Amino acid sequence: MPEISRFLGIVVLIYLSEHNPPYIHVRYNEYQAVLFIRTLNVLAGSLPAKVRGLVAEWAELHRDSLLDMWETKCFRRLSPLI
């Protein structure tokens, strides 16, 4: 699973061979979650509220790139949230 970005202890990953709908995996310490890219709703797992907010902010900035990666299956790193 390629690592898309890493910031503030948060790791964002994506499986490019997974099924629809498009989603990302997020890891933070002992927490793990899967979030839909389009809605940012949590599909599985959990994150602390502050971390979930940071991930949502980051994903909103990169939503088009994430969806493009999902559709084209071309992996690339995305800039972290600073």
**Residue 61: other Cβ atoms inside 10 A:** 13
Q: What is the pLDDT of residue 69?
A: 93
Exposure b/e, 3-27, CB count within 10 A at least 16 = b: ebbeeeebebbbeeeeeeebbbbbb
Domain ranges for the chain, please list them: 3-72
Report whether 51 contacts 10 (CB < 8 A).
Answer: yes
**Reported pTM:** 0.92
Q: What is the pLDDT of residue 16?
A: 75
Spans in the chain with pLDDT lower than 70: none
Q: What is the pLDDT of residue 39?
A: 95
Beta strands in the chain (DSSP E): 3-7, 10-13, 23-28, 31-36, 42-45
Q: What is the pLDDT of residue 40?
A: 95
pLDDT digits over 45-67, tens only?
999 999 999 999 999 999 999 99
